[in-house]
Amino acid sequence: MADLDGPNAPFPGAPRHRPQRRTYAALDLGTNNCRLLIARPAGNGFTIVDAFSRIVRLGEGLGASGRLSDAAIERAIAALTVCAEKLVRRGVHLSRAVATEACRRAENGREFVDRVYRETGIALDIIDPGEEARLAVAGCHALLEEGEGPALIFDIGGGSTELVELLPGDGEPAIADWISVPWGVVSLAESEPQDGATQEDRLAAYDRMKARVVEALGAIDLPTEGKLRLLGTSGTVTTLASVYLNLPSYERRAVDGLLVPVEAMRAIGRDLAAISIPERAQVACIGQERADLVVAGCAILEAILDLWPAERVGVADRGIREGILRSLMGHA
């Protein structure tokens, strides 16, 4: 049940609406991105009223220092200030804001959360990896490829990657097992220089990144029967899907729900790993902001593809925020 005196409380300044007019918000502050969705209930789902997304790189340098840097904190607070303004302007009745791996790991994570509340009024809830995985599943499981075989949903984040194995069968998914590993696009990219002078150097760095993830994922037991189904919810899979479709700019409607052959995903990842960072920046839908991180995401993805040999990868441009919204609307 949503707690009106806790982290799900009505945002300060929000007017009270009748139930049918209530507006809800979900905010996900990750290691790399700050994302907000504001929505109203509509039938069995919801209609988006407003959205916001900004790359803030909150976890930049965290692996080396163990702390959120001053510059990263300022970027995050600037983005959260925009979110706070949207929450008030849209008259949000009930909201939840979560923070993930960067705040979990940082020595000053709690200090940062306290400052965010003082300066923006947003009460960030630092969630554990299990809840992060459950919210991602709740937000995107509807896009799983049809079938009754074993299914795996994965979320490649900035500081960690969560994988959730679902029990076979149709309908509302039941979680069989899950794992979280401390490799995301930011943490993995910072572990391995990617500015090799030659293609051979760059591919060797890619293989070392992949090996780190394979080692971390070694605890998962593979299913032995049934057609495997695979669904990814992350910037990595949506970006690679855009490259696969050769889109000149990102189009959510074209990407969300797409099924991409596994071998195509592998080939795109290897091609991107082979070229330099400036060359990656020229690829449509990657650009300067993602050029130095996308290959780390590709290495994580390929490790997952080795582990879970499905024929196709489902792509979801939805996840934690949608999971939060469904929870708020279902228990408000």
> Regarding beta strands 33-42 and 45-55, do their DSSP bridges make them parallel or antiparallel, or are they unpaired?
antiparallel
Measured distance between the N- and C-terminal CA atoms of the chain, rounded to whole angstroms: 7
Q: Residue 222: its pLDDT value, please?
A: 63
Distances (CA, A) of 145 to 7, 175, 232: 34, 16, 11
Phi–psi pair at 174, nearest 5 degrees: -110, 135
Half-sphere exposure of 120 (CA within 13 A, CB side): 22
Tell me the sheet residues that pair with 179: 163
Global confidence as pTM: 0.85
Q: Are 33 and 102 in contact, with CB atoms under 8 Å apart?
A: no
What the block records as the tokens of 201 is: 């150097």
- Return all residues near 1 (Cβ < 8 A) that are at least 6 apart: 331
Question: To 10 degrees, what angle do helices 109-120 and 70-89 make?
Answer: 40
Distances (CA, A) of 224 to 149, 154, 178: 10, 19, 17
Q: Which of 31, 12, 29, 125 is nearest to 80 (CA)?
A: 29
- Give the pLDDT confidence of 250-302 residue by residue, as tens digits: 999 999 999 999 999 999 999 999 999 999 999 999 988 889 999 999 999 99
> Regarding beta strands 229-233 and 161-166, do their DSSP bridges make them parallel or antiparallel, or are they unpaired?
unpaired
Across the beta sheet with 312-316, what order do the strands follow?
A: 175-181, 161-166, 151-156, 229-233, 312-316, 259-261
Q: Residue 4: its pLDDT value, please?
A: 28
Q: Residue 228: its pLDDT value, please?
A: 87
Q: Residue 6: its pLDDT value, please?
A: 37
d(CA 262, CA 227): 14
d(CA 291, CA 287): 6
Low-confidence ranges of the chain (pLDDT < 70): 1-20, 169-172, 219-226, 331-332
Q: Residue 294: its pLDDT value, please?
A: 95
